[in-house]
Amino acid sequence: MKIISLVLAFTLAGGVAQAADLAELQEQALANRPVIQRYVVDLAKSRDNEILARSPLYPSLDLAYTATWLDEASLYEDKQNSVASGTISWNIFAGFRDKYKIKSAELLRQAESYRLQGLRQDIKLAVALRYLEIYNRQANLKVAEDSASTLGQLYKDGVNRFEVGLIKKSEMLKFKVDLDNAVIVEKKAHAQLAKSVALLQREIGTDVSLAQLLFNEFSALPELQEQAAYEEDMLNKRSEIKLLEETLGAAAMQVKVARAGYYPRVDLAGIYRQYDNDSLSTTSDDDEIRTQLTLSMNIFDGFANKSQLGAAKLAEQGLRYDLEEAKRDFKVQLRNLFLDYRVNGDNVVVAANSIEQAEENLRVNRLAYAEGVSTESELLDAITNLSRAKFNFVAAKSEGFANYFQIIRSVEGL
């Protein structure tokens, strides 16, 4: 026990000495977690993709220089010659392909922003649940310590009573067996608490001391609005749903991009050429300026356009199914969370009353045992009932807060 306590003390000694509440821990996690920066990089990349999608709207400028050496001159070309050219080209129409590509890129960028938003909410939820877990472990440790302390006192009293012949050795040993079990439970509770603190440190990306954690948020279960209001907010705000909606919109734009392959294309180009009869000369023998307007249309491409359009339509249809499935899943999850929250809220009240009754039962049994009108088994049962009532209270309260955090996460409220 001393070794475990020392390990726990050293483990929790890191970090600054100031107190920390849940909101501060969540902000530390958002600032320290590399996974956030990873998604920020993806968002930046999506902005570059949007710029890339806009590039066809601008003219293209190309410069070229060609030097040629022939084995002999021809009627139309000198033995050595060079051509310098500059071309400005601009696509005037391509079936609105560029327009839809830009819109698709904008929607995908927005989808990445929702992905990042969802990650932030998930990290905040993970921190809240780890923080709650420590509160739960600490409360369980207190229950285990109280139970071990009570049984330790009873065992000492039992030894004294055995030595003066008031009880049998078998009765004294019953206290010893229950005390040993309580010590084992207490040791496990110490270890579980230390592990929970380590997991919280992993979530926030820095050291934190148990003494810093305030747990002011857990004085009482908070009130919630009507379930229908949360469901409406969830469908309008939940990042996973918004991400799918934006991705679906981008897929719809890709269908229009694929359909643009059936339209004609119009390109305008201005070309300047300078011809010289020497491959390395800088003087000009002939030059020309040419303006070209080109109308082109693909008649057959081996069914490539048809296949691209079909694949784009199927991708859009698949995303519609994904969106509908996600909405149904989230609705069921929210309803179940509300059911659990209400049950745990009722259980907190019942468990609190059970603690009062168990404490009174233990008091009565202690007096009866001291007077010799109650057995050690009845007294041990009273101690066990009190511990169970306290464990039930901690469990119900912890589960209720876990449900609350998950409900608030569902509406992007963390």
Question: Could you report the per-residue pLDDT of 47-99, keeping only the tens digit for each?
Answer: 888 888 888 889 999 999 988 888 888 887 888 888 889 999 998 888 888 88
Specify the higher pLDDT residue, 30 or 376.
30
Which percentage of the chain shows pLDDT scores above 90?
A: 36
Which percentage of the chain shows pLDDT scores above 70?
A: 94
Amino acid (1-letter code) at residue 290: R
Pairing of strands 60-69, 286-296: unpaired
CA-to-CA distance for 248 and 25, rounded, in angstroms?
Answer: 35
- Rounded mean pLDDT, 199-227: 87
- Rounded mean pLDDT, 229-239: 92
Look over the chain and give the mean of its residue pLDDT values, rounded to a whole number.
Answer: 86
pLDDT band for position 219 (50/70/90)? confident
Residue given tokens 């296949």 in the structure block: 307
- Rounded mean pLDDT, 379-394: 86
Q: Are 389 and 344 in contact (CB under 8 A)?
A: no
CA-to-CA distance for 243 and 249, rounded, in angstroms?
Answer: 10
pLDDT at site 283:
65
pLDDT at site 317:
93
Question: Could you report the per-residue pLDDT of 327-366, keeping only the tens digit for each?
Answer: 999 999 999 999 999 999 999 999 999 999 998 888 888 8
pTM of the model: 0.80
Specify the higher pLDDT residue, 13 or 297.
297
